Chain A
C-alpha cells in the first residue's frame, strides 16, 4: 500500500474529490448524513479561492449552484432525502437550461424526515423520477470512500462534458465510513466547451455532439436561460416541433454516449448460476457473500451498478452472463429490482431481497436468504 494513503471519511472524500475536479462554488443547507460536506466546504472553499454559501433552504441551494454554474464555476451541493425532495424543482430547471451541476444525495432512512442517522437506499427512483416531465440525469453510485472521491471527480467531469446535472447517490454508511484512500494521483479534468464568436451566438445551437457550448454569464455574450421550452435563441416558444426536438436532444446527448457514461463492475459473471445485482454499500456485503459461496463451490457472481442512470437494458443484459437466477439485494422495498425485471422479463428468475430496518445487509444474511429461498 502506498505511503500516501490517508484515512478519510466518505463525506470528506466527496469534498476533496470536488476540489480536485475544480469545484469552486458550494451552496447548501446542512442535513444529516451529508452535513460534514457543508462543514468541510465552509473551511476548504476559501482556502482554494472558492465560495461557500449556506443558503436558507435546499431550493435556494440548488438554484444558487445553477446560477454559479452558468456564470462559469464548477459547482456542488450536498443533501439527503428531505432536502433532495425540495431540490426537485431546481433539478428539473437545471435539466432544462442544461446547467452542469453536481448534487450529492446521501441516502438516509425513510419517507419524510424518516430516521436521520440510519442508512437506506430508498432514493434510487427519486434520482430518476423525482422531478416532473421527461428529463434525463446521470446518477453515479459509490460503494466506498475511495470511490466517493473518484466518482465525485467523474461527476463534475460528466456534468461539464454533457452540460447536464449529475447526481452522486451515496448513503449514510459510506458518508460516515473511514477508509484509507490515495489522493496523490492527479485526476483527468474536463472543462465545458465555451463559444468563441459573439456575433450571431445562439445559446442553444448545437453541433453533432448535441451539447451546446456555454457562454458563461458576464463574458460579454448575449445569453438567455429559461425553464420554458426554448428555441436555439434561448427564448420561450410553444412550438410543438421545437419542443419535441429539444426534449429529444436532452435525451440523445446522453444516450448517444452510453459507452462513455455507463460503468459496471462485474465479478465472475461468466459462469455464475446465481448472480447478484446491487449498487452502493449493499454491493460490499454481496462481494463477501460471493467470495464465501465460491469457496464452497457455488458458482456465484456479482454485477454492481456504478452508473445507475442512464440505465441501458441491452448493456445490462450483455453484462449479466447467463446465470439462471438473479438476486437483487437493496435497502428499500424493491426499486432496482423493477429495472432488473424489466430487462429480463420471464427469461430469468429475478428474486428481490429487501431490508428496511435501517441496517445494512450483511454477507451472512445473504447466505441465509439463499438457504431460506432454496436458491
Chain B
C-alpha cells in the first residue's frame, strides 16, 4: 500500500472473464485483514462478452470517494478494455497486459505510467492448467505477486468462499501460477 494509505486497482477485459468476481474476492480478503474497501464496476449488459471494468479501492482508513481516480494498478485483459478504460493513468500506475491476446500498446511509456508488465496470461493458463477458466484468479496471483496487498493464505480463503468445491484445486493452482509468473517475469515478461 502506498504512502497515502490508499491502493487503487482497475481491471478491464471481456465480460465472462470474471474480473468483477476477482475484485470482490480481493475485497473480501482485504476485509478479513481489517481493511476498508470500496468495490464497483461498470454496470450494463457486459455479462456476455462486452467490455467490462471492475474497480477496487483498499485503505487502512475510511474511504470517502469510492471510485478509482489514480490507479496504482491497471490490468487490461483485452485490447478493447485497455482502449475503453485505459485512460486516467499516471506515472504512479503499473500496467499489466495479457500479451497472449494483445500487443504492447504504443501509447504507454515511461512518461505516462510507472511500468508495463506484459505477460502471456491466457496462453499460459491454457498450456499449464489446460483450462480456459480461472483467468481472473491467475490475475489475482499476478497482483498478489506484485503487491503482496494481502496475505496469500487469506486470499486463498477468500477464493474458497466463492468457487465451487470441484473447482477449488484448479483455482488454487491458478493463483500459484499467477504468482509464479511474476517471479519468473525476467524470463517471460516484458518490462519497460
Interface of A toward B, CB cutoff 8 Å: 1, 5-7, 32-33, 116-117, 172-173, 176-180, 281, 284-285, 287-288, 291, 360, 362-364
Contact = CB atoms under 8 A, between A and B. Distances in A.
B107 interface: no
B40 A173 contact: yes
B66 interface: yes
B39 A178 contact: yes
User: Of residues B24, B27, B38, B41, which shows the largest number of chain A Cβ atoms within 10 Å of its Cβ?
Assistant: B38
A1 B37 CA distance: 12
A307 to B, nearest CB: 21
Contacts of A179: 36-39, 63, 66
B31 A180 contact: yes
Contacts of B27: 7, 178
14 contacts: A5-B31, A7-B31, A33-B43, A176-B40, A177-B40, A178-B24, A178-B38, A179-B39, A180-B36, A180-B37, A284-B65, A360-B67, A362-B69, A363-B65
B64 interface: yes
Contact of B44 (A6, A117, A178, A360): A117
Interface string B32-64: 001111111111100000000000000000011
A177 B39 contact: yes
Interface string B9-44: 000000000000000100110010011111111111
B37 to A, nearest CB: 6
B66 A284 contact: yes
Given A7-B27, A117-B44, A176-B43, A291 B64 contact: yes
A178 B40 contact: yes
B69 A363 contact: yes
Given A1-B31, A7-B27, 16 more contacts: A1-B36, A33-B43, A172-B43, A176-B40, A177-B40, A178-B24, A178-B27, A178-B40, A180-B36, A281-B66, A284-B65, A285-B64, A285-B65, A362-B67, A363-B64, A363-B69
Contacts of B44: 116-117
Nearest to A116: B44
Contacts of B28: 7
Nearest to B158: A7
B66 A176 contact: no
B71 to A, nearest CB: 13
User: Of residues A178, A281, A287, which shows the largest number of chain B Cβ atoms within 10 Å of its Cβ?
Assistant: A178
A6 B34 CA distance: 11
A179 B55 CA distance: 12
A363 B65 CA distance: 7
B39 A7 contact: yes
Contact of B24 (A7, A172, A360, A362): A7
B69 A177 contact: no
Contacts of B66: 173, 177, 179, 281, 284
